[in-house]
Amino acid sequence: MIFPAEDVIVDSPRATPLYAAAASASEANIWTSVNGWSLARVFTSVEKEYHAAKNSAAIADLGALSRWAVRGPEAAQFLSRITTAPAPRLGVGESARGLILDGDGGVLDLAEVSRLSDDLFLLTTPTAHARRLQLGARGVDALGEDICEAVAAIGVFGPRASEVLSAAGMKMPGEDVAASAVVRGVETAARPIQFGALPGVELIFPAADALTIWERLVRRGKAGPIGLDAMEILRIESGAPRPGVDFVAADHPGTTTRRTPAEIGLPHLAPLDRGWYNGRRGLRYVATRPERRLVTLSVDDERSMPGAAVYAGGKPVGRITSCAWSPAIKRVVAFADVARPVGAKDYEIAVPAPGEGRVAAKLYETPESALAKAFREAQDAVGNAR
Amino acid sequence: MSDVQDKPGGGRIEGGIDAIVIGADAEGLTAAAYLGRAGYNTILLEAGVEIGGAVCARELSPGLSYVDGEHLISILDPAVIADLDLYRHGVSYAARCLDTAYFFEDGKTLQLGGDLQMAAAAFDDEEAGSAFQKFITDVFEAAAFCRPGFETAAPASDIEKAMRAAPRSLAARLNFFSLAPAQEVLDAYLPDGCLKTALLCEAGFRSAAAPHEPFSFMTLLRRWAGEIAGLQGACAYPQGGAVAVVTALRRAAQAAKVDIRAATGVASILIEQDHAAGVELEGGGQIRAPIIVAAGAARRVFMEMIGAANIDIGFQRAITAAQPQLASGHLHLSLKGVARDEKTRGHMNRRLVYAPPREALRRAFADARAGRVPDDLMIEAVFPDVLDEETGGDRMQLLSAIAHPLPFDENPNADRRAEIEKTILANIEKFAPDIEDRIKERALRLASDIAKSTSALAQDYAAPPSIIEQVALARVAGSAGYVSGLYFCGREARIGAGISCAAGRMAAKAALYEAKRGGRAA
């Protein structure tokens, strides 16, 4: 699950249940706020945290995300109405990603749905959608409860994630299913998540026991904390667009940049043949003709920055929405929002340099863009077969 | 002819049908007649036993019947009359251009001719006459300009385009008329006096928007956008009452070979791959057709027949957001004795309106919204058997009155009903003194009563919101939730109070256009 854009103005951000632990671990003491919650941007150094997550294991405070417990005989139908995730098809313990769309098929947010029992689901979204959930529950026998204040959540990422959990006393029954266990007397739920290409596990437990679990993971599991800045590099490398940064929610006040799933590079999360969901009828009219496209580019120049113009064939076609230096490929990886009809593979990025001030950029395949490509090819194959 | 097969699990599957219309009120009959005339094999399904929806004749006392639902027509779509040849199917006017007599609290009266454009000439006060003439000229021009927008909820871009194309003075006036409270518009045009009070009353009549509230002038603009037999802003009493219009629509539908089935309720609308595919009947069985036109209330059609889990959240919100607060009440009285002399009958041969003063009207809306029965009510009354002599009795006379504004009550108890009846009678007494002594039978018809007799919800017969809100709602409801092959002409797709049939015509036209373009009809 991806964090939304950082808050522009928040007078006094709230403390997550893990704030005290994060504050004591933070050497850099650089903070920001997301959804009104305080989060550490850096604990020690961005590079160190990045490499820990890539090669070992890192733990992150995920308390700023919005979480809802959805109960009721029609909870699955409710979630498949609200999100594009195939909730009715999930077995107990399984999770699925999806999108939240408006009536015209514009993307509002990302979503992740986990089935905890037959009639209990967990819905996680980057931003809060209380009003939408309230409206969507009308006429459906399901009840949603906002559990953000009641629970704490820790993400454990990296190849050693399961080792860390084992050391802390929790064993996952399988790689793809959620589980629950008692860790030092605390009822804890764990569900597999992916942060881009990184495998991970999210632990959810009562807010009052937040520090107990954090300490357990740090001491027994030998996992270090990871801040938002290092996670941002991992996110861009994985090709996961960030709400509020790489695209603006379709219902954002004053927005004129409505984006469809295909336009933000996530068509595979809202297939038109997945059954009914809110916005599918509207999407049917616009899905086949995306006007924009969110692409990932690799740029051989460190001066690239968000907002920089992107050129193709000598003409401006878009702009960079977010970028980061990737230690893995030793280049800048950037998201760029470009005009769809161009369809170019080679781009140029404007940089603050003398002369033309442009550097070459190439399309860069991420795990997410590979999924989207495979989905499009499958759709084309089905279309051709018909 | 339809094809019939047995359905697994009981019932029958009926195929070979081109279109199904759900709900046999005036709009449903109109849609069915249009589809039938276009050569489509059409079935009209009505859950109740009566065809015509709320508009039907009911007996008040032996030999004396009243028309439930509506008693006058003013916004009946002229295109429907022409296209369906309703005159040939029995529509004729007993009173084509009704004069109106207004009564006021201070005992004054005002008579306004049915032809409003000529009415100014009859004014004794020259200043008031010329002010009224200018007012009517300006308003009629604006109303005629707006008429296409009232027939169908045109997209906002079309309205903006039309406004841009309008002459600058007309565009400015339209802007003023559409935004301003009726009170403000009337203050700008007319001197204080009876005429202003009368028109203020007209602007608030049968609407949930009080005349002092923004957008309320549109109610009057909507009414005066209608025309009866080519006369703009007129009111008419059809021969046989408003029920004759419904009867003519039924004949038109039958002449177009529409299969009308009463007592056939629809349990659900079948949607397959986002296309309407037919209906599941309450008694079991399916009828399959590529075109479905629904004339019922949006809540029933979309929330019950399709299901909340299959419609978009924004659409659901739009059709369920409005909570009615106001309603009108209908009171039908059978009166002992029949007026015989020509002078009295001449007075009765009008539309009679009691118009409370401005402050009383403001208080009435506030009281009704707070759930109280107001002391002062606007009353519109007619003597149907005087207007239409063929229906008159020998010993008794019928008075049909509509009172507004009343609090909306889903299930009023006997005390509330008695209170409402007493208040309406008290207001009728203001222009017909001692009428209570002549009453033999009475029938109070509130929104809940009309709903019960048509198996609808009481809120379907509540006072409609302001015209602006109706246009916005009609635009959403008219999209029918983007279900391909489904067209909606229920209450939420209509603009203005009274029998119009424009929504039914537009739904059928849209269905025919889509079918022609996509060739989806069977």
Among residues B450, B510, B449, which one has the least CA distance to residue B484? B510
pLDDT at B212 over 90: yes
Q: Which amino acid is at B115?
A: D
The tens digit of pLDDT for each residue in A333-349 reads 999 988 876 566 777 77
Q: Read off the pLDDT of each residue in A111-128 and give the average, rounded to a whole number.
A: 89
The b/e string for B190-204 (b: 16+ C-beta within 10 A; e otherwise) is: beeebbbbbbbbbbb
Q: Do A284 and B310 touch (CB under 8 A)?
A: no
Please say whether the beta carbons of B2 and B28 come within 8 A.
no
Measured between CA atoms, the residue of chain A closest to residue B484 is A281
Q: Tell me the chain B residues in contact with residue A72 when contact means C-beta distances shorter than 8 Å.
A: none
By Cβ distance, the residue of B312, B320, B483 closest to A278 is B312
How many CB pairs below 8 Å do chains A and B form together? 43
% of residues, chain B, pLDDT over 70: 94
Q: Tell me the chain A residues in contact with residue B308 when contact means C-beta distances shorter than 8 Å.
A: 81, 138-140
* CATH ID of A291-385, from 2.40.30.110, 3.40.50.300, 1.20.210.10, 3.30.70.20: 2.40.30.110
Q: Tell me the chain A residues in contact with residue B482 when contact means C-beta distances shorter than 8 Å.
A: 281-282
Residues of chain A with CATH 3.30.1360.120: 19-65+149-238
Query: Which of B454 and B241 is assigned the larger pLDDT?
Result: B241
Using the Cβ of B302 and the Cβ atoms of chain A, whether some distance falls under 8 Å is answered with no
Residue linked to tokens 């007649």: B33
Q: Does domain B56-95+323-453 have CATH number 3.40.190?
A: no
Residues of chain A with CATH 3.30.70.1400: 66-146
By Cβ distance, the residue of B303, B308, B313 closest to A132 is B313
The tens digit of pLDDT for each residue in A16-42 reads 989 998 998 888 888 889 888 899 999
By Cβ distance, the residue of B310, B315, B320 closest to A103 is B315
Q: Read off the pLDDT of each residue in B380-389 and give the average, rounded to a whole number.
A: 87
Using the Cβ of B155 and the Cβ atoms of chain A, whether some distance falls under 8 Å is answered with no
Residue B502, token pair as written in the block: 């424009």
Characterise B498 by phi-psi region: left (phi > 0), alpha (psi -120 to 50), beta (else): left
**Predicted local distance difference test score (pLDDT) of residue B381:** 94
Residue A45, token pair as written in the block: 């150094």
* Nearby residues of A89 by Cβ (< 8 Å), 6 or more positions away: A96
Q: Do A280 and B274 touch (CB under 8 A)?
A: yes
Q: Do B316 and A102 touch (CB under 8 A)?
A: no
Residues of chain A with CATH 2.40.30.110: 291-385
Please say whether the beta carbons of A353 and A303 come within 8 A.
yes
Q: Where are the domains of chain B?
A: 3-54+245-321+460-518, 56-95+323-453, 117-227
Using the Cβ of B414 and the Cβ atoms of chain A, whether some distance falls under 8 Å is answered with no
Q: Tell me the chain B residues in contact with residue A278 when contact means C-beta distances shorter than 8 Å.
A: 312-313
State the smallest CA–CA distance between residue A178 and chain B in angstroms: 27
Q: Which among B313, B317, B476 is the top mutation candidate for probing chain A, defined by the most A β-carbons within 10 Å of its own β-carbon?
A: B313
Q: Does domain B3-54+245-321+460-518 have CATH number 3.40.50.300?
A: no
pLDDT at B8 over 70: no
Which CATH number does A66-146 carry?
A: 3.30.70.1400
pLDDT level of residue A356 (50, 70, 90 thresholds): low
Within A147-262, strands assigned E span: 151-157, 179-183, 186-195, 198-206, 224-225
The tens digit of pLDDT for each residue in A88-111 reads 998 888 888 899 998 888 999 999
- Return the DSSP state at B72: -
pLDDT at A163 over 90: no
pLDDT level of residue B6 (50, 70, 90 thresholds): low
Q: Do A139 and B303 touch (CB under 8 A)?
A: yes
For residue A11, which phi and psi values (nearest 5 degrees)? -65, -55
pLDDT at B122 over 50: yes
State the smallest CA–CA distance between residue B336 and chain A in angstroms: 51
Residue linked to tokens 């369906």: B84
The tens digit of pLDDT for each residue in B272-330 reads 877 899 999 998 889 999 999 999 888 889 988 998 878 888 888 888 887 889 999 99
Residue B240, token pair as written in the block: 């046989």
Among residues B1, B511, B485, which one has the least CA distance to residue B279? B485
Which CATH number does A19-65+149-238 carry?
A: 3.30.1360.120
Complex ipTM over 0.85: no
